[in-house]
Amino acid sequence: MNDRPVSVPKGTADLAPERTIARDLAARTVLVAPVMVAMGAVFWGGAGAWSAGYALVIVAVNFLLGAATITWGARISPGALFGSVMFGFIARLGIITAAVLPIRDSEWFEVAPFAISLLVTHLGLLAWETRHVSASLAFPGLKPGHDLLSITDPAAERSA
């Protein structure tokens, strides 16, 4: 057997795996923000840029709130975890709706860049994050050495 202690990625020892992943997703949202805002500006002008930016804020908050509800439910019981995931999803959909309804008629808001940014970043970031999530109980959450902006390529490690 190997008696070496298991190393924990720096800065994540005190975090639940879902919070680590959500923080990484929120940080990646900041990375894609210039591209999404620029696309909104190119195709829809200033209103498109503001709408895309607003959608990106909602995406980041949605990931963080989702992780918070999972962490809360997991500390209580499996039933609370299942309930918090199901009802938390419904509540977050309500929050997104509540964030859009008051501004939908504003002159700075465009529906198309908002919807595109909201959908593309949710799905794209989740797909991007799958390359960095560990499927191991030894390292729950992010793979060791695969922090945001890491120069290590996961594909190179698998082939070695």
Determine, yes or no, domain membership for 49.
yes
Range of the domain at 77: 17-132
- Tell me, what's the pLDDT at 137? 57
Answer whether residue 13 shows pLDDT above 70.
no
Determine, yes or no, domain membership for 78.
yes
- Tell me, what's the pLDDT at 6? 42
CA-based nearest residue to 40, from 96, 91, 108, 106:
108
Helices (DSSP H) in the chain: which residue ranges?
17-76, 78-100, 111-129, 154-159
List all residues 6 or more positions away from 155 whose beta carbon is below 8 Å from its beta carbon.
none
Q: Average the pLDDT over 74-103 and give the result.
A: 94
- Tell me, what's the pLDDT at 21? 84
pLDDT tens digit sequence for 32-77: 999 999 999 999 999 999 999 999 999 999 999 999 999 999 899 9
Please enumerate, as own/partner, the contacts of 73-82 that have beta carbons within 8 Å and a separation of 24 or more.
74/16, 74/18
Determine, yes or no, domain membership for 50.
yes
Determine, yes or no, domain membership for 10.
no
CA-based nearest residue to 96, from 127, 55, 131:
55
Determine, yes or no, domain membership for 159.
no
C-alpha–C-alpha distance, residues 45 and 113, integer Å = 10
C-alpha–C-alpha distance, residues 111 and 129, integer Å = 27
Determine, yes or no, domain membership for 126.
yes
How remote is the C-alpha of 113 from its chain's centroid?
19
- Adjacent-strand bridge partners of 78: none
Determine, yes or no, domain membership for 157.
no
Determine, yes or no, domain membership for 146.
no
Helix (H) or strand (E) holding 141: strand 141-142
Answer whether residue 2 shows pLDDT above 60.
no
Answer whether residue 145 shows pLDDT above 50.
yes
Number of domains in the chain: 1
